[in-house]
Amino acid sequence: MIMKFGIKTMMLIFCGFIIISAQETDRINIAVIDLESRGGLSQSEIGVLTDRLRSQLVQTNSFNVVDRGLMQDILKEQGFQMTGCTSTDCAVQAGKILGVQQMVAGTIGRIGNLYTVDISLIDVQTSKIMKSLTRDYSGEVEGLVGIMKSIAEELAGIQTHKPAETAKGVLDIKSNPDKAQIYVDNAYKGQTPLKIADLAAGEHVLKIVKAGYNTVEGKFSIEAKKTKEYNADLKKIYNIKISSRPSDAVIYIDNRQIGVTPYTYQVVEDSKIAIVIKKENFKSYEKSMVIKKDEALNVELEFAGAIAKKDEQVKEGDKSGGKTWLWIGAGAAAAGAAIFFLLPKDSKDDEPVVTTSEYPLPPVRP
């Protein structure tokens, strides 16, 4: 293919060669085409990662890397469209226009929580792919910046930063029940049971999650060339539905206010809890429970005024009862005294005196 270069293009290429010639002549002249996103990354994020790959290639001291701005000007002058240029043929054409020996092109995609990076180093003269590198990464997007460094070093044939095998260990995770999701350092790893190899020696954060069960979180340490076993006994989470009449009563569980009725509270299996329900002008309700299943607690609160009135009636009853018995006793005593005074004092042999009239007869004259 014969390419026609304008004066501006020739000047740009000439300036590029001046820059390259000022560097070490034994270095390989390369250019990096912007990486292509296969989903999950914005254009600005792709641009940042491409720039980091370009700068890391410079820092290896193995390449003369064409400046991004200069490369864009040259390709634009020739009417070459860089967008979507990820094929080998497209990279070779760009490399010939730029006058470099090798081109770097690639893609970054995302599947679920997993990022995939594919990078190729292409020989412009032969159109052959000299190196093809792949990386899989689980975690926050910021972690891809570190991936660019390792790719640049491998393209340059540098192995000094590769982690030693002695700095790796294995995590063997089981759970009861199984099929729980596993996260290590906030990165999804799979479901239990699972054996995770090549974990860096040192401290890590583990989280085990299963719907309907309590979440297990904690830290663990990995030792080089050793297997760490972790068994998680997951417990079911039950619902306690708490309601009251009247409603809007304040609920306390284990001396901690959690809300007002009606309310649904989640508790781990076999937990022992103390429930207190309070409402102004009503008697407090208290109950202790050991949770073995879903529970529904319906409470009928007793009005405090009714309780006070009942107590008052009992006290009044005690007082009135005492007065009644006092009057009965006094009446009995009075009746007894009247009978005593009406009886005759001089009757013989205690025989009754017989009278024919309502009043006694007067005594007989001598």
pLDDT over 60 at 158, yes or no: yes
3 state SS of 157? coil
Per-residue confidence at 324, pLDDT binned at 50, 70, 90?
A: low
Phi, psi of 50 (to 5 degrees): -65, -45
Residue 29 has pLDDT above 50, yes or no: yes
The amino acid that residue 263 corresponds to is Y
**pLDDT for the residue 325:** 53
Choose between 291 and 143: higher pLDDT.
Answer: 291
Q: What per-residue confidence (pLDDT) applies to 67?
A: 87
pLDDT of 136: 87
Q: Which residue has the tokens 């052959």?
A: 128
Model confidence band, residue 39 (pLDDT cutoffs 50, 70, 90): confident
pLDDT tens per residue, range 93-115: 888 888 899 999 889 988 877 88
Model pLDDT, residue 89: 87
Q: How far is CA 248 from CA 259, 262, 273, in A?
A: 9, 7, 21
**pLDDT the model gives residue 263:** 95
Helical residues (DSSP H) of the chain, grouped into ranges: 7-21, 43-59, 68-77, 88-98, 144-155, 304-342
- What is residue 330's predicted lDDT score, i.e. its pLDDT? 58
Indicate the range of 7-16, 171-180, 193-202, 294-303 predicted with least confidence.
Answer: 7-16
> Is this model's pTM higher than 0.75 or not?
no
Q: What is the mean pLDDT of residues 143-152?
A: 88
Would you state the pLDDT for residue 5? 47
For residues 265 and 281, what is the distance between their CA atoms, to the nearest angstrom? 25
Q: From CA 47, how far away is CA 43, in angstroms rounded?
A: 6
What is the pLDDT at residue 247? 92
Stretch among 1-5, 28-32, 165-169, 222-226 having the lowest mean pLDDT:
1-5
Give the integer Cα–Cα distance in Å for 33 and 27. 19
Of residues 26 and 6, more confidently modeled: 26
- Phi-psi region for residue 91, left (φ > 0), alpha (ψ -120 to 50) or beta? alpha
Average pLDDT (16-40) is 70
Q: How far is CA 48 from CA 51, 52, 112, 359, in A?
A: 5, 6, 22, 137
With both helix axes pointing from N to C terminus, report the angle between 68-77 and 7-21 in degrees, rounded to the nearest 10: 150
For the chain, domains (ranges, CATH) are: 7-155 (3.40.50.10610), 167-233 (2.60.40.10), 237-304 (2.60.40.1120)
pLDDT in tens, 226-252: 899 999 999 999 999 999 999 999 999
pLDDT at 143: 83
pLDDT of residue 323: 58
Mean pLDDT of 17-21: 45
**Is the distance from CB of 281 to CB of 246 less than 8 angstroms?**
no
